[in-house]
Structure 1
Amino acid sequence: MPSTMQDEPLSLATLLRYASTVHADATVRTWTGTESRVLTYRELGEQAARLAHALTALGIGRGDRVGTFMWNNNEHLIAYCAVPAMGAVLHTINIRLFPEQITYVTDHAADRVVIVDASLIPVFAPVLPTLRTVRHVIVANGDAAALPAPEGVTVHEFDTLLAQYPGTFDFPVLDERSAAAMCYTSGTTGDPKGVVYSHRSNWLHSMQACTTDAMGVRAGDRMLAIVPMFHANAWGLPYAALMAGASLVMPDRFLQPEPLLALMAAEQPSFAAAVPTVWNGVLTAVDAKPQDLTHLRAVVVGGAAVPPQLMRAFEERHGVPIIQAWGMTETSPLGALAWPPAGLDGEAAFAYRITQGRIPAAVQARLVGDDGTELPRDGKAVGELEVRGPWVTASYYSPDAAGIGADAFRDGWLRTGDVGTISADGYLTLVDRAKDIIKSGGEWISSVDLENALMAHPDIAEAAVFGVPDEKWDERPVVAAALRAGVEPDAGALRAFLSDKVAKWQLPERWTFVSEVPKTSVGKFDKKVLRKQYAGDMSPPSARWIWLWHSGVRTRSPAWSTRPTCARRSPS
């Protein structure tokens, strides 16, 4: 029996029209280092219409890809709105990829136009001659003449180009299942893989983001979007803000702790989102030079496990609650948020807050064992997390239907590569990434648990743990720690600090101290780089590998003994 409901497509053009009329006075504000450039949502609608006209004049039609190579700013939001609304596909290019990866994703997506921030011309210019499909580049926030144009490519200036066209556009009625945007994974293993979001998936994801059990986005909010717009739709913040009528605050290129704190002091955002490494730096800065942060009703942190000590420090010292979230590029990205159950407070609530969160109604999740069997949701059984839902990708993009990354999918489920538990009331707790969990002596060691325990030490700014081969135990953990200013390395003392926090057999013997833990293009600890450094394929700057010798622990391995930079200590 069919329903009697109207079949109105869930289109981002509808969302743009709504935001630019109903919430016309809401704003997007981009920080310049001293003040903000302000664009109302009414003006946003007009500028999006002009960009749609301009792109049409450049030959962009339905399904054509338009790349962006930009910071979080007003112009990037204009592209976020205009490109999908006109029926083209927005491809947000990760500006922190290696040059050859930028070439790969741009060619793989077949971008015909790329919008580039002028401050990024030094990064983009060397890559431009290698791009096979790009025919036009639009330079925003600077002089287009600064970008040399190779043969066959025309360079335009953003404001000059848009000024030629009217502030209205007849946006088409689109199939809600058609492509709206695409984003590539960060390429930590192999080539980056493309995920293509639909109008429908973005719309439903935005509705989820606005619920109180997710981000609770609402009219009157000022949302500080630190998470980059080139990564997983900026966690859905732009479209959620348009839907709710919340204003957006954009940091542009000013992403270090001190500029972020200056921005927060000026704009007083009520909500913010970024990866843990950003907030770790902000905490150090605000502890050293205190300022009021209580205007932040909530900070959502994801992309990597949030150290519990970081959560406690922000709440106890600065009155800012951190809400942990889990998701992936492949999940748009919201997959879980760690709001505690109603009626709990104190340590009972905190026990839920340090999980990855409760899985929402639209996302189905299961745990699968090594033999492929589904495991119980009892908070104890540990297996690989698999998910499916209306904003979860069913495949990776391949222009020739080559089945890229097919092993990441099983029977309609996305295999996340995360290992953890799910409780009976739907809370996800991740033990580790499948590739990062350390298998030692037939038992599992969670690198995440060790990292969280280490980062509770007051002398440690950052700590990453990774596994390396060991002839006796299969694998053993290695710690790469960045210490706070003025602190002398003491691996023995740090190991002793861990001794009452993890089982004795999990205590690391191998340590290195670095100025900064290497990061991926989206701010996560890059353990691939650390493994290469340990193996001797590359040398960490100013780092010495320290091996603590302890009874009952293997004291020699071929890879270790041949390292010329190794520093050994006698038994302690």
Structure 2
Amino acid sequence: MRALMQDRPLDISSLSRRVEQLFAHKRVVTGTVDGEVTATWRDVVDRSRRLAAALDEIQVPRHARVGTFGWNSQRHVELYLAVPGSGRVLHTLNHRLFADELAYIVTDAADDVLFVDRSLIPVVWPLMDRLRTVRHVVVMDDGGPAPLPDDPRILDYETLIDRRVDGVPTAAVDESDAASLCYTSGTTGRPKGVLYSHRSIVLHALLLLGVDNFAISERDVVLPIVPMFHVNAWGLPYAAMLAGSDLVLPGPAMSPQALAGQLARHRVTFAAGVPAIWRALLPLVDRAELAALRMVVSGGSPVPDTLARSWYERTGVPITSSWGMTETSPLVACSRIATVHDGLDPDAEVALLGTPGPPVPLTELRLVDEAGERVGHDATTPGELQVAGPTVASGYFGAGAGTDAFTDDGWLRTGDVATIDRYGYVRIVDRTKDLVKSGGEWISSVLLENEIMAYPGVVEAAVIGVPDDRWGERPLACVVTTGGARVDVADLRSHLAGRVASWWIPDQVWQLPAIPKTATGKFAKSVLRDQFARRGQSD
């Protein structure tokens, strides 16, 4: 027997209708190179309709991929609505990638049109001869000084949407239709395309409103510092539409000073970014007015204990850790203080919030050992973390299809090694490829890095395994210090004694001016391994 309920699709056009009908007066603020621009949600939805009509005019086919090279801005939000709402697929591109990677991704996606912030034209235009499927480049003038090429493929965003459009219907879409496309960071081979559905995006946005997750509400002022090219800014623009929140966007003004100014000036209540952002903002928080701030979320890489403690001591707001992947929309787990943790002292609470926490609703987790057997959730036994749920990918788009990242029974192999306790709280131990196996025993680079960063003067630490004749592998600590001060290796080793097992303590410490990072801000350990190998060959 089938239920007698209305069969209405969970699609992105429902978000634009809701925010226009109920929250048209609320603000969308965008930072620019010389100030800020403020619009209302009514303005954003109206302009997105005109943009959808413009896509028809320049004959962008249904289901075509529409690429974006943009900062976090009002125009990017308009693309978030217009492209999937009109039956096309939004493809957000990370302009920080290398040219070869960008050319590969645009070609693999077969993007039909690119929307590019003017300040990013120098990144995109040199690639055009390699982007055979791209018919037009629509320039969004963000005040950048880059000269525009004299080429008929160049179109102006504002000219394109400068028309009155009354009651343009959105395309009829099925909730399982593709809505947006993001590519993985390519840390293990070529970047792979993750194709989100309208349904998965709406469900993910709803999850962010949950009181035990991000608890985003109409009273919030949301600042997504995480880039809009990175997994749809973790779904925050869509969540803000559902809740009716004010949305504050940095635009190209991404300096710590500019971000601190936005946090204070707009009385931001919720902000999300990666640990590097919170580390850069830390010296400024004493002088910024942050009384309105209720929640700071961090993701992308583990939050060092020293950063978490310093942030809480200076602001009174703990950093709440989250965990996810491009393949998971991305939120899978979000930390919180549950009733079983009542009575923890403040330091213990800060430490707990620095771990990924339990899974969000609708998402299931399991641990599997090297033999493929399930691992118990006892908080100590590690296993590969696998994920399933309606906001989790079932395969890859384009050339990435056919990988072994998915199990026979449909779970995503995350490549992370973790433990889970009886209440579902996850602790990431390492990436499977980053574990160090010394003398047949595993060493967690993540846990070791955290203890190294607790040593005075160490700003960043990355641990990699290097060949060793006796033990097979030994951990090498790559460190960056404040002001480049020299590390006393013997003292650092003494600091680690008692904090980690004796055989975890690195024999070598390699001091660097900076640790190489991926385009999404994670430690590029493959680069470190290559650098160490070249260093060994030259010795």
TM-superposition CA deviations, 1:50-91 (whole Å, max 9, x none): 110111111123211100001111111110111011110000
1:308 to 305, 308, 320: 305
Distance apart, 1:379 and its partner CA: 1.4
The corresponding residue for 1:452 is 450
Moved more, 81-90 or 245-254: 245-254
The one-letter amino acid of 2:457's match is: D
Identity of aligned residues (%): 44
The corresponding residue for 2:208 is 209
TM-superposition CA deviations, 1:264-290 (whole Å, max 9, x none): 23222111111111111211x327x63
State how far apart, in whole Å, the 1-side matches of 2:306 and 2:153 are.
51
Shift of the 523–143 alpha-carbon distance from structure 1 to 2, 3 Å rule, reads closer
The one-letter amino acid of 1:380's match is: T
Q: Does the CA contact (< 8 Å) of 1:478 and 1:509 recur in 2?
A: yes
The corresponding residue for 1:223 is 222
The one-letter amino acid of 2:149's match is: P
Distance apart, 1:404 and its partner CA: 3.6
Distance apart, 1:168 and its partner CA: 4.1
RMSD over aligned Cα, in angstroms? 1.9
The corresponding residue for 1:277 is 276
Distance apart, 1:317 and its partner CA: 1.9
Q: Does the CA contact (< 8 Å) of 2:478 and 2:509 recur in 1?
A: yes
Structure 1 residue 317 and structure 2 residue 314: aligned?
Answer: yes
State how far apart, in whole Å, the 2-side matches of 1:382 and 1:507 are.
20
2:493 to 470, 492, 495: 495
The corresponding residue for 1:90 is 90
The corresponding residue for 1:553 is none
SS at match of 1:377: coil
SS at match of 2:291: coil
Moved more, 188-197 or 406-415: 406-415
Shift of the 5–513 alpha-carbon distance from structure 1 to 2, 3 Å rule, reads same
State how far apart, in whole Å, the 2-side matches of 1:202 and 1:443 are.
41
1:421 to 416, 419, 422: 419
SS at match of 1:171: coil
2:328 to 323, 326, 331: 331
The corresponding residue for 2:256 is 257
State how far apart, in whole Å, the 2-side matches of 1:433 and 1:275 are.
18
The corresponding residue for 2:149 is 148
Distance apart, 1:493 and its partner CA: 2.2
The corresponding residue for 1:341 is 338
The one-letter amino acid of 1:302's match is: G
Structure 1 residue 293 and structure 2 residue 290: aligned?
Answer: yes
Q: Does the CA contact (< 8 Å) of 1:368 and 1:384 recur in 2?
A: yes
Hey, which bits of structure 1, 4+ residues long, moved more than 6 A?
Answer: none
Q: How many residues align?
A: 535
Distance apart, 1:154 and its partner CA: 1.4
TM-superposition CA deviations, 1:453-503 (whole Å, max 9, x none): 122223111111111122211111111111112633322222222122111
The one-letter amino acid of 1:193's match is: K
Structure 1 residue 109 and structure 2 residue 109: aligned?
Answer: yes
TM-superposition CA deviations, 1:354-409 (whole Å, max 9, x none): 3211012301111001011111112122100011100000001027xx73423444
With the length of structure 2 as denominator, give the TM-score of the two structures.
Answer: 0.95
The corresponding residue for 1:359 is 359
Moved more, 55-64 or 342-351: 342-351
Distance apart, 1:145 and its partner CA: 9.2
State how far apart, in whole Å, the 1-side matches of 2:149 and 2:246 are.
36
State how far apart, in whole Å, the 1-side matches of 2:524 and 2:484 are.
25
Gaps of 5+ in 1: 538-558, 565-572
TM-superposition CA deviations, 1:147-192 (whole Å, max 9, x none): 3266xx6111111111034264211231000000000001122211
Structure 1 residue 31 and structure 2 residue 12: aligned?
Answer: no
Structure 1 residue 248 and structure 2 residue 252: aligned?
Answer: no
Structure 1 residue 526 and structure 2 residue 527: aligned?
Answer: no
With the length of structure 1 as denominator, give the TM-score of the two structures.
Answer: 0.90
The corresponding residue for 1:471 is 469
Distance apart, 1:320 and its partner CA: 2.0
The corresponding residue for 1:52 is 52
State how far apart, in whole Å, the 2-side matches of 1:263 and 1:536 are.
44
Shift of the 186–149 alpha-carbon distance from structure 1 to 2, 3 Å rule, reads farther
Q: Does the CA contact (< 8 Å) of 1:46 and 1:167 recur in 2?
A: no
State how far apart, in whole Å, the 2-side matches of 1:164 and 1:256 are.
35
Distance apart, 1:34 and its partner CA: 5.4
